[in-house]
Amino acid sequence: MEKETVPLLEEIIRALDTTDIAIDQDIIREELVRLLEFKVPPDEAKRSLLKKYAASDIQQKKKIADIQGGERNIEIIARILNINLKIVNIRGEERPIFIGTMADETGTISFTSWDDFGINKGDILKITNCFVRIWQGMPQINFGPRSTVEQLNPETTDPLSNKELNNPTPLAEMKTGTSFAHTIFRIVEIKQQNINTKNGPKTIINGIGADSSAKLPFTSWIINPELIINNTIEIKNAHVRSWQGLPTINIDEFTTIHRSKTVLSADDIEEVLDPAPVKLNCIINRDGAFDVIVEGSIISIRPGSGLIKRCPECSRVISKNLCRVHGSVEGIDDLRIKSILDDGTGVLTIVLDSNLTQKVIDYSIEKAITIASTAMTPSVLEDEIKSKLLGRIMRLRGNMTRGEYGITLVATDAQLIEIDTITEACTLIQEMQYPILQGEDL
């Protein structure tokens, strides 16, 4: 117990010494020992005592990899990887904020700055009194008027020093928040885009990379001659952030790009470009999956399916003609389906937009409006969808994401599949008997 108590007690005393609080070390030691004897985790015991002795305003120094949602009074040192100006509508008033990504030697994280601190890409900052919230299922650093932002000298403190990785990571294993990402892929799509940033207009490159395991989007904030369609490139010191729920490889001036000695041919990535249906248990543990095909049974139709209304300004689903961003609006009629797909190995939520909903239920929006008007309730469409889809087999193509609402596949294509139950049953019986027959041969 003594080995565990002494270093923890020293941390608490040092923290309290930075305040004007009068402390009795013997009392604190007794209370700490009592908490540990009651099996309170050491970190929780420390927080409890600091809070009790009015030291809750002490800054918690954090590394990005250790940050969790709901934390407050955080101090962090990180490099700004990118930053962009965004205009948001808060309670009917437009307000500028700054959003971007920062990194230290342990990982990357998105941030929102609610004030203009004169931050630029590449700056190394010490930020105090920031807080953490969960956004799209991931922790996000937030700081504003009560925070302090200090520029640090990169020659003396560089939390994003280059780090060489020997083994490239397959695209299917890329995880949001990864720093120093090292991978090899073939460029299958690429285009330039002009955007407005805090420092004015900028040209970036968006594209899709593929290897034998998966496809993923990438964004390059620099122009590089190797970024050409069908080139196989090796990149190091990139970072992976979430964009629209998908892991996205971000390339900047700290990233090295070379033509790969290992060339991926069209044959090497053929199965990724023209995918076959994949079992859910192969993808639901990933951070996201880009352009995959899944197939399974519709086991539930979720509330919010059928005839809905959207905000004409932002296309958000609205209720009682109220948009949470734009207030009272005249909603636009639309159709969608939210349901649960089960293939026997896993389940996920699937979302079909208006075009795909009309395709699978064979109703136009006009027909849906007429049915709802006749029944005098929009919910009749949800019942119609249930009668048409529940228990049916559906094949879908789209992007799978993980977020605060769970695992979701937003479909880009969908079709109902008719199966031959007799053939399928015979195949299943053969698969079940195969291990038994093997055992008999042995």
The CATH class of the 171-269 domain is: mainly beta
Q: For residue 368, give every residue at least 6 positions away whose Cβ sits within 8 Å of its Cβ, in sequence order, or none.
A: 306, 307, 333, 335, 381
Average pLDDT over residues 119-130: 89
Residue 8 in contact with residue 46, Cβ under 8 Å? yes
Average pLDDT over residues 408-433: 82
Average pLDDT over residues 215-235: 94
Question: Which of 37-46, 202-211, 293-302 has the weakest average pLDDT?
Answer: 37-46
262-293 pLDDT, tens digit per residue, is 999 999 999 999 999 999 999 988 888 999 99
Q: Which pLDDT value is given to residue 400? A: 94
Element (H, E) at 354: helix 354-361
Residue 438: how many CB atoms within 10 A of its CB? 9
18-71 pLDDT, tens digit per residue, is 555 556 777 888 888 888 887 788 877 877 777 666 554 556 788 888 888 778
85-100 pLDDT, tens digit per residue, is 888 877 777 888 998 8
Residue 139 in contact with residue 132, Cβ under 8 Å? yes
Domain ranges of the chain: 2-57, 64-151, 171-269, 280-421
Short-list 56, 35, 42, CA closest to 10: 42
Query: pLDDT category, 162, cuts 50, 70, 90?
Result: very low
Short-list 350, 349, 347, 363, CA closest to 306: 363
275 exposure class (CB count in 10 Å sphere: 0-12, 13-18, 19+):
middle
Which fold does the domain 280-421 belong to in CATH?
OB fold (Dihydrolipoamide Acetyltransferase, E2P) (2.40.50)
Q: Which pLDDT value is given to residue 3? A: 62
Q: For residue 143, give every residue at least 6 positions away whose Cβ sits within 8 Å of its Cβ, in sequence order, or none.
A: 111, 112, 113, 114, 115, 127, 129, 130, 131, 149
Residue 292 in contact with residue 335, Cβ under 8 Å? no
Alpha carbon 105 to its chain centroid, in Å, reads: 20
Taking the chain, what is the end-to-end CA distance rounded to the nearest angstrom?
Answer: 57
Evaluate if residue 359 carries a pLDDT over 80: yes
Q: What are 63's two structure tokens?
A: 């590394």
Phi, psi of 174 (to 5 degrees): -65, 135
Q: Which pLDDT value is given to residue 22? A: 59
Evaluate if residue 111 carries a pLDDT over 50: yes
78: phi > 0 → left, psi -120 to 50 → alpha, else beta; which?
beta
pTM here?
0.65
Q: Which pLDDT value is given to residue 23? A: 65
C-alpha 54/C-alpha 35 separation (Å) is 18
Residue 103 in contact with residue 239, Cβ under 8 Å? yes
Evaluate if residue 163 carries a pLDDT over 50: no
Question: Which of 117-131, 215-229, 424-438 has the weakest average pLDDT?
Answer: 424-438
CATH number for 64-151 (one of 2.60.120.260, 3.40.50.150, 2.40.170.20, 2.40.50.140): it is 2.40.50.140
Q: What are 52's two structure tokens?
A: 């009790």
Residue 58: how many CB atoms within 10 A of its CB? 16
C-alpha 62/C-alpha 77 separation (Å) is 8
3-class SS of residue 416:
strand
In this structure, the strands spanning 232-243 and 256-259 are: antiparallel
Q: For residue 430, give every residue at least 6 positions away whose Cβ sits within 8 Å of its Cβ, in sequence order, or none.
A: none
**Structure letter (DSSP) for residue 352:** E
56-81 pLDDT, tens digit per residue, is 455 678 888 888 877 878 889 998 88
165-198 pLDDT, tens digit per residue, is 458 999 999 988 787 789 999 999 999 999 877 6
Q: What are 335's two structure tokens?
A: 């159709």
Q: Which pLDDT value is given to residue 164? A: 46
Average pLDDT value for the chain: 84
Residue 113 in contact with residue 102, Cβ under 8 Å? no
Q: Which pLDDT value is given to residue 155? A: 67
Length of the chain, in residues: 442
Q: Which pLDDT value is given to residue 87? A: 83
Q: Which pLDDT value is given to residue 15? A: 65
